[in-house]
Structures are given as structure tokens and as C-alpha cells.
Amino acid sequence: MKIGEIVSASVLGGLTTKLELENPEDLRIGYPVIVEGRQYDFFCLVHDIVNETSDIAERLAGSRLRDSIMPAGYQEGYGGPIFYSKALLKPIQLIDKEDGHLSEPETIPPYFSETRHAMEKDVELIYQRTSGSAPLGTIRGVSKFYVHIDFQTLTEKPFAIFGRTGMGKSILNKLVCSCILARGAGSVIIFDMHGEYGVYSRTDRTEGLKFFFPERVEILSLDPKNREARPFLVDPGEIRPEDLIVALQDLNQNMIDAIYEIDRHRRSDLISAIRQALPEEYDETKVHPTVLNALKRRMMRLQRLPFIRPTGKDVFSTIIGLIRAGKSLVLDFGDFGTDQMVYLFVANVLARRLFDLYTERNQEFPRLILFLEEAHKFLDPGIATYTIFSKLARETRKFNLILALVDQRPSKIDDEVRSQLANRLVMSLKEPSDVTSALAGVPDRSMWENIISTIPARCVAVLGDAIRIPTVIDVMHYDDMNVREHILQDGATHQALEQIAAKADEVL
């Protein structure tokens, strides 16, 4: 359907179309449209929609004559309608009219080129499926066209899911994990603070990963009341100074220095060494008595945790066996899900040991994607140097251990870590610093800043090399029928085709 004609164009600045829509509300920022040139179809995204300043409109506003004049304003004449809207468009791809070849936009369409809504036949040329791709939802502005993302590519490097609270990050994260498992792109580890990823979500009763992949997902729990999960225990002997510094984020520099000093001289586990330390055992300039007493009080927070105890058999060896077997892990926090200190402590301990394992023996293990919610609490510039996660983002893509950030405050994440992100799935953000940080390094950032600030809940902008062009997607409803129809069923089909192809030589 025609929506307008081009009245100005620039390769760098974009295109402007004069709309012929009676109601500009029929168009939205982020919608795909096609501008029909002579040699190319210009695949564009709507950057902005404007009613420009009009002297006539200003004079009529509030006037009794407005209602009698307005109908005549829309009648066609030599000068066209008096009142109209414009859409600012950003060309994303050129589609050759003869052979359908795609290329980057390096030219502009002629004046009066027709602008229309993109149709299914247009977007099919842009979004091509692969054996590693799966859909997260439909493209905005095109009826029920499911956009596929290549999850093999997505999981090769660190990536992030950004969006403010209440915009649907958890649902999007479930879909991403389901697609990774369905396409065999890797295994995942989820720190499940609120009981959302196991068999069923405790909050909305939607299905979890264990529901769809019962043989491939194992649940571990910090909470001894959860008898259906394997117990997760932390041996005190495995605790390092950095684990305490990350978990107890109210430590000052004197306390941090004291922890390292005690660690150098300890004969037992670090927590016990701090609790049993005597002031006279240390130089006052290195471990002051008041500092030591403050540390002892803070150790009480960790001492009460039932999952920190000598394990006899290291539970991490069990985790290693599960990962080697291709299992994905959901770590359920149970009653500790609201305790930020517990989350910071456990996530850092587990991630540090995984980092050591994968950097030394990565060839023995499948690709593992570690999902880190509330990522800014680990990667704030003030604390990032003490955590293992900044190293994970920078170094482990070559070791098959991939970090996935899930966060609502990207501006609080260290710049160096954000620079490592190859793909970003960005939902609605309002704080200007968060919008800018989420899109740092993205081409056409000003356009995407406008889009991210205005898209509604349950929509996501996908930017990076896992999708052919940056795209705004309406995230599909997460339920049993959608997951089985669009994610699991596609995966079964691809798997069947691969099995047939593998036997082709024998058949022939």
C-alpha cells in the first residue's frame, strides 16, 4: 500500500517522504518501508514522523473557522493537501530489482519515488534462515512474519540483553535460551534468583527450560528445602579474597587490604582465618584492630549460609561432569533469591572456577553460555577489577565460554566490557545515559536512540552480526504452543534434514 512519495534524499542524512496517509498514527517509528527507485528497492526503517511548522495551522489552531476549513484542506489541488505529515527514513539495504541482490545503501532514489509498507515478499529477501537460526518474534509493521536470528553466530562472542524493568527481559531471555538449546548452539548456565527458569516459573507459571528440555537441563539449588534439585554447596576452602570483595560491596580500601594480608598468612579457609584472626598477629599498619573487627562482623553474614560448608566431594566436579555431558544448568536460589550478597558471592565463585577450567581444558567441553542478570552489580567500574566477569568478556570467546549480560542499567557497566559485545538485544530504555551506553559503537546511533526511547514493552531492537540488518521485533508470546511451533518444531525439522543429508552417500 502506497503511503507517500520522496521529496528529499541524502545518502548520509536519509530520505524524507511526504505522507499520503489521512492519519499519521497508522505509521510507527521502527516500521520497515520500501522506497521504489528505478533500479533498486530501498529497504528503510522509519526514523521519525513529523508535522512540520505551518503558519496556516498556527493561525487556525483555536479558531472557530478550523472545523469548516479543515475538510477543504485535505482536498487534492495543484499544491496537494494543505496539511500533511512527513516520515524520515533511514535506508538499510538496497534490493536490486533484477536479481534481488542485496547491497549497502550508497545512492538515493529519484524525486517522487513511491514509498509503501514493506510486505512479506520484501522481508523474505532480507532475512534468510540457516540451520542455526530461530525466531524471537515478528517484525514490526509486517503481518506475522517471523524474524530469524542466527544463534550459532550469537553465541560465538559476548552479547547482552538490555531493557528497563517490566519490559519483558525475562521472557526474552527464556526465548533466547530455548533457541540456543533447540539449535544446539551450546549449553547455558542460568543464575535463577526468582525461580523462573526451572520447570515452571514461580511468578507467572509459564514453562521453564526444564519443561521443554527435560533430558538436557539439570537444576541445582542453594536452598536445602528444594528436594527435587541437586544440592549446590560451596567448599570454604575454595573461597578467594575477590569473592568476598564482590559479595560484600560495603568494604573500604583498608578492609580490602586486610583481607589480602590475612589471605597471605592463613592456614585454614579464608572465612575461618578472618574470624579467628587476633590483632596481635598482624602489623597494625596492615590490619588495624578496628578494621579486623569490622571484617569479623561481615563474615557473620556468610557464616549463616547453609550451602557454605566442607563438602567432602567437591560439588564442582559434579558440575564439570554435567557440562561435559552437554547439560545446561539452572542454579535455583530458592529463599536466597532476594539476597543480593548471596547472588554476587555465588556467581563470582562459580564463574571464576569455570574460567579456570575453560582456559586450561576448553577442548574437553562444549560451548557454554553464562547468563549474568543484574550485570552492572558485577561490572561497575569500581568493582569490575575484582570480578572474573571482565576477563570473561575480554578473553574467553576463544575458549568457548561466552558471557551473556542481562541488565537494566547499561550505563553502569564498564566501558571496556561493553565494547566486547558483538550483539545487543535492546528493549525500551528511558534514561538517556542508559540509551547511549546500550548503543555505544552502533552505526546510526542517533536513529536507534530515538527508536529505543519510544518502542513499547515486549519489543526488542536486535543489533549485531547475528542478524542481517538491525531490526525491531515484536517478541512472541512465551507459551507452550509458540515455543513448540516456532522453536522446537523448526529444530526437529533441521535435525531430521541433517540426518538425511549425512546418510545421502549411503543411499546413493
Phi, psi of 32 (to 5 degrees): -85, 140
Rounded Cα distance, 351 and 386, in Å = 13
pLDDT at 384: 80
The DSSP element (H or E) to which 49 belongs, if any, is strand 40-50
pLDDT tens digit string along 344-368?
999 999 999 999 999 888 788 999 9
Is a pLDDT exceeding 80 seen at residue 271? Answer: yes
The DSSP element (H or E) to which 171 belongs, if any, is helix 169-182
**Vertex 84 angle, CA 78 and 89, to 5°:** 115
Is a pLDDT exceeding 50 seen at residue 492? Answer: no
Helices (H), 325-459: 340-361, 376-379, 389-395, 415-418, 432-438, 445-454
How much is the pTM?
0.86
Would residue 394 be called left, alpha or beta, if left means φ above 0 and alpha means ψ between -120 and 50 degrees?
alpha
> SS3 for 389?
helix
Strand 40-50 versus strand 114-117 pairing type = unpaired
Rounded Cα distance, 13 and 8, in Å = 10
> SS3 for 326?
coil
* Cβ atoms within 10 Å, residue 79: 6
pLDDT tens digit string along 14-69?
999 999 988 889 999 999 999 999 999 999 999 999 998 878 788 888 887 776 66
